[in-house]
Amino acid sequence: MDSGKFPGSFAWGASTAAYQIEGGWDADGKGPNVWDTFTHQGGDRVLKNQTGDVACGSYTLWEEDLKCIKQLGLTHYRFSFSWSRLLPDGTTGFINQKGVDYYNKLIDSLLEMGVTPLVTLYHFDLPQAVEDQGGWLSEKTVDIFKQYAQFCYTTFGDRVKHWITINEPYYAARLSYESGIFAPGKKLKGIGGYRAAHNMIKAHAKAWHVYNTFFKDKQQGRVSIALDSDWAEPLDPNSLADKEATERYMFFRLHWFANPIFIDGDYPAIMKSIVSQKSKEEGLTSSRLPEFTEEEKAMIKGTADFFCLNYYTTRKVKPLDTTACEPHSNSDTGAEGITEPNWPISGVEWLAVVPWGLRRLLAHIKHSFGNPEIFITENGFAQADPPALQDVHRWGYYQETLMEVLKAIKLDGVNVKGYFAWSLLDNFEWNSGYSVRFGLFHVDFAQANLPRTPYYSANEYAKVVKGNELIYK
């Protein structure tokens, strides 16, 4: 490569999510969401029974976050709306003006600083009232979400031009409604994940259509969905069984959502046939994987204006022996992802450092989905507690990853338009509470004023952002 320069107008960002940073869980008329309920139930659902009640306090300390953004020199900031802060029972029946005011202040201040907001409408924190009506397992939520999206476009769309409907439907569906380790903790093995994902895809598509039909001409913005994926490679590249398992791994993850939205409105054929066959063997009269009608397929196809990818790691894949397994989306996939022993591990055991996996995944997306514009909307490295302010390992991860992004752009012709580090701040890392730190800024959770301090990575990232260039020694 001739230089470490990124293309002009490359978007440099960092990401956060409402429940993970805001706190103020019942402030100023906010309604409860499923994570409020889940964490308040205790019972070790979250490490040390920690909650997001206070988190980074961003509901009141949002100006401190702006200082961090400024210090990094970001061009973009991705954050999510807390749905139940805006609409306490999830519906437009009652609008919480204080919640609207909060996001107005945040958006207006970002724009004054010259920072472009990228807003996620739903990042795992479903209003409890919507969950009480069936949540994502219910078809009703599709239209409730559509109305929420419409409300957000109406209220903020004069200034917000980049919308992400749903963050990581793969995790949101499976962890919340299949394994039950995420709120609301439903354990419907082999069924819940598929059903929730089905409704999320429809909700996303409807939210895209509302924008496209009623707002796009006037507001000139764009709507997408954030999909997460590992990159996967066969454990033994010469083994047909490993190669097939790797394909299944990708089809049951990235393609589960990307095929309907970016290709043809429907699930991958292999996914449909495996789940349908297994369902028959289990004596069921219909597949555990719901079907889209022809009308729904036409409605879903082509409902993303750009591709948002959350990438963290890579797996080597081999077949999973499913003979003694109960019905589950994992046994349907029939593939097991393994970490190579020589891959360095971050502060969390699932996050092996494999930057080259991102380059391969980006090329795969380019070829599978018609060379879309891609924003990497999350990528990051965790430190375990207590974290080092001199986080040299993390900066190594970022540097190597950004190098792979550059190669993808310059050598593979992938249309990558932006990169967002996860995360701006140390925050509430779901089941791991505050023990896992992904921030570019350290947050001292032991002090009442929750001070933010830049890690070494923040200072280095700021240099890359400023120069639009990776200087790699």
Q: Which positions lie near ligand BGC, rule CB under 6 A?
A: 17, 20, 167-168, 171, 228, 310, 378, 422, 429, 438
Residue closer to ligand BGC by CB (options 17, 149) is 17
The count of C-alpha atoms lying within 13 angstroms of the C-alpha of 66, restricted to the half-sphere facing its C-beta, is 19
Residue closer to ligand BGC by CB (options 176, 310) is 310
Residue closer to ligand BGC by CB (options 1, 384) is 384
CA dihedral sign, ordered 119, 120, 125, 126: positive
CB of 440: closest distance to ligand BGC in angstroms? 13
CB of 375: closest distance to ligand BGC in angstroms? 14
Three-class SS state of 222: strand
Q: Which residues contact 196 (CB under 8 A, 6 or more apart)?
A: 135, 136, 137, 172, 173, 174, 176, 177, 178
- The Cα–Cα gap between 296 and 464 comes to 44
Which has the closest alpha carbon to 290: 210, 368, 224, 200? 200
CB of 71: closest distance to ligand BGC in angstroms? 21
Residue closer to ligand BGC by CB (options 16, 279) is 16
Residue 159, amino acid? R
- The Cα–Cα gap between 56 and 50 comes to 13
Residue closer to ligand BGC by CB (options 62, 182) is 182
CB of 439: closest distance to ligand BGC in angstroms? 10
Q: Which residues contact 324 (CB under 8 A, 6 or more apart)?
A: none
Catalytic residue flag (residue 168): yes
Q: Which of 22, 64, 233, 378 is catalytic?
A: 378
- Whether the link from the prior residue into 386 is cis, omega within 30° of 0, is yes
Q: Which residues contact 197 (CB under 8 A, 6 or more apart)?
A: 169, 170, 173, 174, 256, 257
CB of 168: closest distance to ligand BGC in angstroms? 5
Torsion, CA 206, CA 211, CA 212, CA 215, rounded to 10: 150
Q: Pairing relation of β-strands 307-310 and 374-378?
A: parallel
Q: What's the 3-state SS for 410-451?
A: HCCCCCEEEEEEECCECCCCHHHCCCEECCCEEECCCCCCCC
CB of 344: closest distance to ligand BGC in angstroms? 17
CB of 20: closest distance to ligand BGC in angstroms? 6
- The Cα–Cα gap between 78 and 325 comes to 39
- The Cα–Cα gap between 411 and 119 comes to 31
Report CA 302 to chain centroid distance, whole Å: 20
Residue closer to ligand BGC by CB (options 292, 438) is 438
Q: Which of 64, 168, 233, 429 is catalytic?
A: 168
Tokens matching residue 127: 């209003």
Residue closer to ligand BGC by CB (options 219, 310) is 310
Three-class SS state of 78: strand
End-to-end Cα separation, the chain, in angstroms: 14
CB of 438: closest distance to ligand BGC in angstroms? 6
- The Cα–Cα gap between 44 and 26 comes to 22
Residue closer to ligand BGC by CB (options 96, 229) is 229
- The Cα–Cα gap between 281 and 351 comes to 36
Catalytic residue flag (residue 378): yes
CB of 120: closest distance to ligand BGC in angstroms? 9
Tokens matching residue 324: 């003694």
Q: Pairing relation of β-strands 416-422 and 383-384?
A: unpaired
**What residues act catalytically?**
168, 378
